[in-house]
Amino acid sequence: MSGSTRLAGAVLGALALTGGLAACGGGSLEERGGGSGGPSGSAAGGTVVVGSAGFTESQVLAELYAGVLTDAGYRASIRTVENRELYEPALEKGEIDVVPEYAATLAEFLNAKANGPKAPEEKPVASADVAATVAALEKLAAPRGLKVLPAGGAVDQNAFAVTGEFAARHQLKTLSDLGRSKVKVKIAAGDECAVRPFCAPGLKSVYGIDVAGVDPKGVGTPQAKQAVKDGVDQLVLTTTTDATLDAFGLVLLKDDKKLQNADNVLPVVNARDAGSPEIAAALGKITKTLTTADLVELNRKVDAERAKPADVAKAYLEEKGLIGG
C-alpha cells in the first residue's frame, strides 16, 4: 500500500494524498440520470460514483468496481477523497455511492464514531473472525444508511516479514516458528508498535517472540524494509498486499494464530442510492474473484512498473472474464 499503510483497527488518518471530494450532486441514482426503478438505484443506466482514498490499492479497487459497474450498464465515475474521515460521511450523504473498504478497519472506525474514540481499544468489535467482524460492521453501518456487501478472500492486513536468508537459516514459515526459534528480533515499524496489541505486545504474548525493541522507521516504508535487508532489524511490520517485498529480499511469516484482525476487502454502498441487487451482483463479481495474491500483483504493476490503475484494472477484468461477456 505504499506509504499509506493502514494499521488494523485504526483509522486511515490524515494521509498525504492528492485530490479531494468533488461535487457529485448527491441524491439518488434516478435523480442523477438513472431512469425508473425506485430509489434503490436498480435501473441500469444510472450514474454510480465510486470513492477512492487515493493510495495505489484503493485506486485499483475503485477502477475494478467502476469497470464491472460500467459493464453492467451504469455510468460509473471515480472520485478521489483524501481519507476515511471525509469519504465515509460523503458515502452516508450519497455524494458518493460505493467505496472499497476493509472490514475490521471500517468496523472500528464506525465503532469510534458511535461509541467514542476509546471504543476501538476498550470495546473492540473487530477480530480475526471475518464473519463476526462483518456482522458487527453491518450493525454499525445500517443506522448510517450504509449497506455492507459480502467480504471476499482478498485481505489487506498487518503482516510481518523477514529476509529470505533469515527465514531459511532459522527454518521460519510462520510467526509461531519465530517464537519457537527463541531468536531475538528488533522490529522496524511505527513507534506505536511498542504498545499496540497487534504488534510487539501481541507478538510476545501470542507467539512468545523475543522482541528486543522497536526501530521507529514507519510501517512498511522503504527505510523500514531496507533496515531489515541490511540486518539492522530482523522483522518489519508491513501488510499482506505489500508489492515491494521481493525487491528487498523479504518474505512474509504466516500469522498462523490469527493475531491480526480480519481486514478482508468488501464493497460498502449507500443503501438508498446504490443498494440494489443489480449493483450488488456486479460488485460481487470482483469480491468472489479477487485474491490477496491478485492484489499484490495489481499493486506491483502500478508501483513498480508505473502502469496506470485504470489500465491494470481493465486488463485484470478482461483476463478474468468479468467484463465484456
- Given this model, what pLDDT does residue 261 score? 96
| pLDDT category of residue 325 using cuts at 50, 70 and 90 | low
Question: What is the share, in percent, of the chain residues with pLDDT greater than 90?
Answer: 82
The answer to whether residue 49 is domain-embedded is yes
One-letter amino acid of 141:
A
- Asked if 279 and 239 sit in the same domain, the reply is no
- Given this model, what pLDDT does residue 324 score? 84
Domain that holds residue 61: 2-155+264-319
Mean pLDDT calculated for residue range 44-54: 89
Give Cα 175 to chain centroid, integer Å: 22
- Asked if 133 and 272 sit in the same domain, the reply is yes
- Asked if 112 and 146 sit in the same domain, the reply is yes
pLDDT of residue 242 exceeding 50: yes
Mean pLDDT calculated for residue range 301-322: 96
Of 253, 278, 297, the residue at which a domain comes to its end is 253
What does the pLDDT look like over 192-209, one tens digit per residue?
A: 999 988 999 999 999 999
Q: What is the mean pLDDT of the chain?
A: 88
Read off the C-alpha cell for 197. Answer: 496489541
Conformational region of residue 45, where left means phi above 0, alpha means psi within -120 to 50, and beta covers everything else? left
pLDDT of residue 18 exceeding 80: no
Read off the C-alpha cell for 71. Answer: 459493464
- Asked if 233 and 215 sit in the same domain, the reply is yes
- Asked if 37 and 115 sit in the same domain, the reply is yes
- Given this model, what pLDDT does residue 44 score? 60
Of 253, 276, 299, the residue at which a domain comes to its end is 253
- Asked if 212 and 137 sit in the same domain, the reply is no
Which among 154, 195, 134, 136 has a CA at the least distance from the CA of 7?
195
The answer to whether residue 259 is domain-embedded is no
- Asked if 137 and 229 sit in the same domain, the reply is no
Question: What is the share, in percent, of the chain residues with pLDDT greater than 70?
Answer: 86
DSSP H helical ranges for 182-269: 200-207, 222-229
Read off the C-alpha cell for 283. Answer: 460488485
Of 253, 273, 307, the residue at which a domain comes to its end is 253
Q: In CATH, what number is assigned to the domain containing residue 176?
A: 3.40.190.120
- Asked if 134 and 180 sit in the same domain, the reply is no
- Asked if 143 and 172 sit in the same domain, the reply is no
- Asked if 310 and 171 sit in the same domain, the reply is no
What does the pLDDT look like over 75-90, one tens digit per residue?
A: 999 999 978 999 999 9
What total number of domains does the chain contain? 2
- Given this model, what pLDDT does residue 280 score? 97
